[in-house]
A and B are shown apart, each in its own frame.
Chain A
Amino acid sequence: MRYAFLALLARQPAHGYELKQALENAFGPLWPPLNAGQIYTTLARLERDGLVQSHDVPQAGRPGKRVYELTPQGRQALQVWVAESTTGPRLKDEFFMKVILARLSGVAQPPALIERQRREYLQSLRDLDNLAASLPPDGDPAAALFIEGAILRLQADLKWLDLCEDRLIANR
């Protein structure tokens, strides 16, 4: 969330609630729900690290708003993060562990595991297809692209199950 806030503040100064709304607009249903506590904790840490600074703006008849803006160090940190190529594992696959360990230990039959996983992936494909179809066609493309990415991964996972079946299971 740190870099998301830095990026939003790179556009213009904002208070906490505006940041929450901007995130929800940008990522649609993809971002997990944010509560006020998370937002202000993150902002406090960014301020402690010198990446943002804040000041109170008085409001007539109401408590003042705390408005945050990016510091030069904050802008630099954002640019370094954005420019870095994204490396490291992007898939966590517990299923692979299960198949290999089942094969090793005999605690379960790999063909049954693969079959169950194929059912799960197919059902997930349908669910995500429904989710994609439920998005407004003229809405922001971010959510649709994210869902398409997940669907492509599922399609790859299904092909990979066929490979597991071919190579791990003798005399299928």
Chain B
Amino acid sequence: MNPILMTKSLSKTYHPNGAAVRALREVDLALAPGEFVTVMGPSGCGKSTLLHLSGGLDRPTSGEVYLNGARVDTLSEAGWAVLRRRQVGFVFQFFNLIGNLTVADNVELPALLAGVSSNELRRRQVGFVFQFFNLIGNLTVADNVELPALLAGASSNEARRRRQALLADLSITDKADIVPSQLSGGEQQRVALARALINQPAVLLADEPTGNLDSQSSAEVLALLQRMNVQGQAILLVTHDARVASVANRVIYMRDGQVKDEIRIEKGRDPQAVLASIVQLEV
């Protein structure tokens, strides 16, 4: 099966203080349709850079990125903007950073929601990647979730239909009409997840999506991601947390900007025996 996301010899070098830092070194990655892959490694290993380059949030120094078979690393920013609305969903650790929006975007958002046509939106190239900005504080949950659908050209009826289905699926239907600040962290991340999924993206990119959550909310968000994956959603998730990484079908272990190992996670081992091999009651 053709990969939904593929990188070829992807490299990125930064020059933060003049000296070259090779954040990513010739990484080959292939994500099959419906696959759930996590990228794990200590901080600074290049895993976030890999995710950002895969979603067009940053440009590679060399190498190639393919989304659904089409080369995308050569796209213009405007080209990426259209693609991200349709093909890529993002979830981040910090889900409430309205500061990421420009003043112009903040001012224009309500106008967009008030019914400017999608063609008009595209013509004006407004708010090119709202989808990966985080929850917008002065909009309700429902509006936050519907926004990417409206921007991608869905009718308001269609956006509402998809939003209602997703909020029901994520058990937050009753939160639709309140603003994000009244939600717990776990609920906000579920809203962010709904928003990332509303355009039925080819791939969901998640950067430490549980990094800011307590253990209970973290488990819930991971269970939701697993459920979305069972329903066919391809997911690429980066984390420094081995427990989070282990929920995937395949774990990519990175170190020093390179892929060091790929680990397939099996089902069907006897968990009782595993438990006894790690810790035993001693009396």
Query: A residues within 8 Å of B by Cβ?
Result: 1-4, 27, 29-32, 115, 118-119, 121-131, 133-134, 146-147, 149-151, 153-155, 158, 162, 165, 172
Q: How far is the CB of A60 from chain B (nearest CB, A)?
A: 36
Q: How far is the CB of B68 from chain A (nearest CB, A)?
A: 29
Counting CB contacts under 8 A, is B97 at the interface? no
A138 to B170, CA, bound (A): 22
A52 to B52, CA, bound (A): 67
Counting CB contacts under 8 A, is B242 at the interface? yes
Q: Which residues of A contact B70 (CB under 8 A)?
A: none
Contact yes or no, B247 A119, CB < 8 A: no
Q: Which residues of B contact A130 (CB under 8 A)?
A: 271
Q: Which residues of A contact B42 (CB under 8 A)?
A: 162
Chain B: interface residue total (CB-CB under 8 A): 29
Given contacts A155-B242, A158-B242, contact A128 B271 (CB under 8 A): yes
Contact yes or no, A128 B253, CB < 8 A: no
Of B9-17, B136-144, B192-200, B260-268, the segment with at least 4 beta carbons within 8 Å of chain A is B260-268
Within 246-278 of B, Cβ neighbours of A (below 8 Å) are at 246-247, 251, 253, 255-256, 260-261, 263, 265-266, 269-272, 274-278
Q: How far is the CB of A63 from chain B (nearest CB, A)?
A: 30
Contact yes or no, B279 A150, CB < 8 A: yes
Given contacts A118-B253, A118-B261, contact A147 B243 (CB under 8 A): no
Within 10-66 of B, Cβ neighbours of A (below 8 Å) are at 42
Closest to A119 in B: B263
Residue-wise, chain B 228-255 has the 8 Å CB interface mask toward A (1 for contact) of 0000000000000111011100010101
Q: Which residues of B contact A153 (CB under 8 A)?
A: 278-279
Contact yes or no, B265 A123, CB < 8 A: yes
Closest to B251 in A: A122
Query: B residues within 8 Å of A by Cβ?
Result: 42, 223, 241-243, 245-247, 251, 253, 255-256, 260-261, 263, 265-266, 269-272, 274-279, 281, 283
Task: List 25 A-B residue pairs with CB atoms under 8 Å apart, sorted by A's residue number.
Answer: A1-B283, A2-B283, A118-B261, A119-B261, A121-B242, A122-B242, A122-B245, A122-B263, A123-B266, A124-B274, A124-B278, A127-B269, A128-B275, A128-B278, A129-B243, A134-B271, A146-B281, A150-B279, A151-B243, A153-B278, A153-B279, A154-B242, A154-B243, A155-B243, A172-B256
Closest to A32 in B: B276
A127 to B255, CA, bound (A): 25
Closest to B261 in A: A115
Contact yes or no, B271 A131, CB < 8 A: yes
Q: Which residues of B contact A1 (CB under 8 A)?
A: 283
Contact of B246 among A3, A126, A146 (CB under 8 A): A126
